């Protein structure tokens, strides 16, 4: 079927963070929310149909994950990422962020060093610091409009005794889709120095042509044995509120350590609806994901053209994946506090300040374009008018 991503849906009052808590988090309700990484599109009808069907049975007791749950993950990764995932490799997490935290608890001790690659998804930082581990920055480098890994610095950090690296693949917020060469070099360093790799691949299905996501653990059995991969249907199919993710660990010892932490925390049960939604999404979501990426690609083209023609002082790092865009706002010549205030109070846009993502985020803002084209157009008109108020106009 054909999916209509231009169809607006009112989200205010639906108990969602993005709209109903925007005032609590950003300080104003009078904004176009373009911050939290969920989309303004309806959850796919084949997922909603599966959920409604289950609701016909009026008992919501403790759930068990059926074989269909596991088979859908295996088949989805085979079809879309050419990755053969073993049934025993798959375990559960109520989300990717909980999975990263459980990995920190399972595989490191207080005082151990853990590497992150800023600017990057900021819960990585708290997953390290909140558990008494030492946070190391292997800062990404902007080269030819793309965030790239600094392998020389990575080797220095790894050789100094780091126990783990947490990577974002594809990268949030920069949108880089790591190539086979990049992933192989990363793995080579980590294998050499025995650094466990935790790969957050939640955005793996949101890749623009001609780029291709490569699961880190798919490179070789040796690399897989030192990798913990986290995935979820939540970004691709707009299911974040169902708190369901999968953790893929081929090494039996690593998998046992992870599941022990989960069992000790008593969070491995999951939910009936989350299980059903994941299976439905990964079973019937191929056409949906293709049409979604085509629509997001048009939004991306529109954004790029609009900035080039009407807001020259704001530039985008064109993402290779995700519905998140890393905006270079240095041309506005505003200090960080004023930059945040400019977007919130002058442009009336709710974006994520780049400094949230760590070193390298200064002067940037992260914009969520997972919305209708009409919403994106309205937001950019507001940004253009706000830039005009600064007296910058459309000059280069």
CA dihedral 295, 374, 368, 75 (to 10 degrees): -30
pLDDT tens for residues 234-255? 999 999 999 999 999 999 999 9
pLDDT at 392: 76
**Strands ordered across the beta sheet of 364-368:** 315-317, 324-328, 364-368, 352-353
Match domain 58-284 to its CATH number in 3.40.50.1950, 3.40.640.10, 3.40.50.10490, 3.30.2320.20: 3.40.640.10
Structure tokens of 161? 């005794």
The answer to whether 255 touches 103, Cβ cutoff 8 Å, is: no
What are the boundaries of each domain within the chain? 17-44+286-388, 58-284
The predicted model scores a pTM of 0.96
DSSP conformation letters of 303-314:
HHHHHHHH-TT-
Show the tokens assigned to 299: 């939004």
Q: Give the DSSP H or E segment for 193.
A: helix 180-193
How confident is the model over 168-198, as pLDDT tens digits? 999 999 999 999 999 999 999 999 999 999 9
Average pLDDT over residues 329-353: 97
CATH number, span 17-44+286-388: 3.90.1150.10
Q: What is the DSSP letter of 7?
A: -
- What are the tens digits of pLDDT across the range 86-140? 999 999 999 999 999 999 999 999 999 999 999 999 999 999 999 999 999 999 9
Q: What is the mean pLDDT of residues 2-30?
A: 94
């Amino acid at each position: 079927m054909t999916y209509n991503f231009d169809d607006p849906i009112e989200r205010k009052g639906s108990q969602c963070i993005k709209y109903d808590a925007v005032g609590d988090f950003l300080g104003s309700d009078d904004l176009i929310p373009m911050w939290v990484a969920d989309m303004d599109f309806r959850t796919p009808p084949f997922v909603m149909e599966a959920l409604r069907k289950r609701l016909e049975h009026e008992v919501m007791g403790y759930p068990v994950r059926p074989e269909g749950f596991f088979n859908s993950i295996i088949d989805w990764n085979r079809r879309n990422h050419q990755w053969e995932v073993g049934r025993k490799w798959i375990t559960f997490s109520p989300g990717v962020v909980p999975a990263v935290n459980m990995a920190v608890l399972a595989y490191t001790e207080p005082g151990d060093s853990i590497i992150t690659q800023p600017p990057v998804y900021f819960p990585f930082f708290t997953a390290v610091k909140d558990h008494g581990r030492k946070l190391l920055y292997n800062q990404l480098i902007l080269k030819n409009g793309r965030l790239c890994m600094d392998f020389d610095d990575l080797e220095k950090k790894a050789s100094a005794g780091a126990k783990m690296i947490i990577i974002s693949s594809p990268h949030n917020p920069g949108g880089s889709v790591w190539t086979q060469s990049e992933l192989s070099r990363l793995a080579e360093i980590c294998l050499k120095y025995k650094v466990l790799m935790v790969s957050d691949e939640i955005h793996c299905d949101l890749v623009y042509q001609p780029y291709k996501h490569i699961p880190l653990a798919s490179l070789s059995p040796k690399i897989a044995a030192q990798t913990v991969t986290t995935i979820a249907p939540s970004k691709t199919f707009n299911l974040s509120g169902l708190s369901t993710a999968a953790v893929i660990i081929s090494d039996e010892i690593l998998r046992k350590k992870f599941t022990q932490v989960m069992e000790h925390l008593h969070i491995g049960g999951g939910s009936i609806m989350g299980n059903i939604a994941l299976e439905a999404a990964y079973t019937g979501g191929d056409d949906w994901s293709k049409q979604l990426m085509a629509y997001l690609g048009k939004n991306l083209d529109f954004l790029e053209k609009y900035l080039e023609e009407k807001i020259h002082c704001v530039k985008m790092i064109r993402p290779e994946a995700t519905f998140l865009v890393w905006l270079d706002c240095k041309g506005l010549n505003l200090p960080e506090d004023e930059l945040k205030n400019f977007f919130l109070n002058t442009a009336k846009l709710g974006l994520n300040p780049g400094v949230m993502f760590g070193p390298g985020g200064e002067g940037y803002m992260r914009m969520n374009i997972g919305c209708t084209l009409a919403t994106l157009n309205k937001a950019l008109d507001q940004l253009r008018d706000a830039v005009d108020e600064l007296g910058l106009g459309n000059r280069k």
